[in-house]
């Protein structure tokens, strides 16, 4: 790393501050500590969503947000939360487990609700295998700081309903 030289030639005078002109400060390399994060593309962040276990009913629209201490709820206002930083939803991971029994293979729809406006993330979410992770990538859902967000999960008419359904969800934004 080269030595650093700073020329001070343009300091505006204000209350009790002297004006400097054509002064030079030099810093030797061995007096400088450089910090690097080692991370690139670090403007992204992730949101965590989850809920208490539920025995889900057929053909029902549930909302899932960051209200971890209640089951998925049919009222969005009970679980939605605010987007902390403007960005675009790029990916979502869902890890699910059933503390009771897995359901049959009928598929659900999961949508992103942004201020009540819905965008489909998947129509093929299934609850027939316990302890599984499902990844959804290639998403492109714009959100603005302060938007109110939740996931809408619309269940199918199962032959056998899953019981004790839990999901741990992470949503990545850039």
Partner 1 sequence: MENIYTYKKQKDGRDSWVCEEPDGNRYMVYEDPSIKDKTDLKAILSSATEDEIEFIKQLLK
Question: With CB under 8 A, what is the number of residues at the site for partner 1?
Answer: 16
Q: What is the dihedral of CA 118, 121, 124, 129, to 10 degrees?
A: -110
Write the binding mask 75 to 94 for partner 1: x where contact by CB under 8 A, - elsewhere: x-------------------
CA distance 150 to 89: 12
Stretch that binds partner 1, among 5-13, 69-77, 108-116, 139-147 (CB under 8 A): 69-77
Is position 5 an interface residue for partner 1 (rule: CB under 8 A)?
no
CA distance 40 to 8: 33
Q: Among candidates 110, 84, 111, which has minimal Cα distance to 173?
A: 84
Provide the 8-state DSSP code for 22: S
Among 7, 9, 19, 55, binds partner 1 (CB under 8 A): 55
Is position 161 an interface residue for partner 1 (rule: CB under 8 A)?
yes
Q: What is the b/e burial string over 35-58, where b = at least 16 CB atoms within 10 angstroms of the residue's CB?
A: eeeeeeeeeeeebebbbebbebee
- How many helices (DSSP H) and strands (DSSP E) are in the chain? 0, 12
Residue among 49 and 51 whose Cβ is closer to partner 1: 51
Residue 71 CB-half CA count within 13 A: 11
Write the binding mask 97 to 136 for partner 1: x where contact by CB under 8 A, - elsewhere: ----x--x--------------------------------
Is position 160 an interface residue for partner 1 (rule: CB under 8 A)?
yes
In whole angstroms, how close is the CB of 154 to partner 1 at the nearest point?
A: 12
CA distance 63 to 72: 5
In whole angstroms, how close is the CB of 163 to partner 1 at the nearest point?
A: 7
Is position 52 an interface residue for partner 1 (rule: CB under 8 A)?
no
Binding site for partner 1 (CB under 8 A): 54-58, 60, 71, 73-75, 101, 104, 159-161, 163
């Amino acid at each position: 790393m080269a030595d650093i030289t700073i020329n001070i030639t343009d300091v505006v005078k204000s209350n009790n501050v002297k004006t400097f002109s054509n002064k030079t400060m030099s810093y030797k390399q061995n007096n400088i500590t450089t910090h690097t994060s080692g991370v690139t593309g670090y403007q992204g962040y992730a949101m965590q969503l989850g809920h208490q276990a539920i025995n889900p009913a057929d053909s029902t629209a549930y909302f899932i947000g960051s209200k971890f201490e209640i089951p998925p709820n049919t009222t969005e206002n009970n679980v939605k939360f605010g987007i902390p930083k403007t960005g675009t939803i790029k990916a979502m991971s869902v890890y699910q487990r059933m503390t009771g029994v897995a359901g049959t293979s009928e598929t659900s729809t999961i949508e992103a609700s942004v201020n009540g406006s819905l965008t489909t993330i998947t129509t093929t979410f299934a609850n027939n295998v316990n302890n599984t992770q499902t990844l959804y990538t290639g998403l492109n859902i714009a959100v603005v700081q302060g938007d109110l967000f939740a996931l809408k999960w619309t269940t199918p008419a199962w032959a056998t309903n899953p019981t004790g359904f839990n999901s741990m969800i992470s949503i990545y934004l850039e």
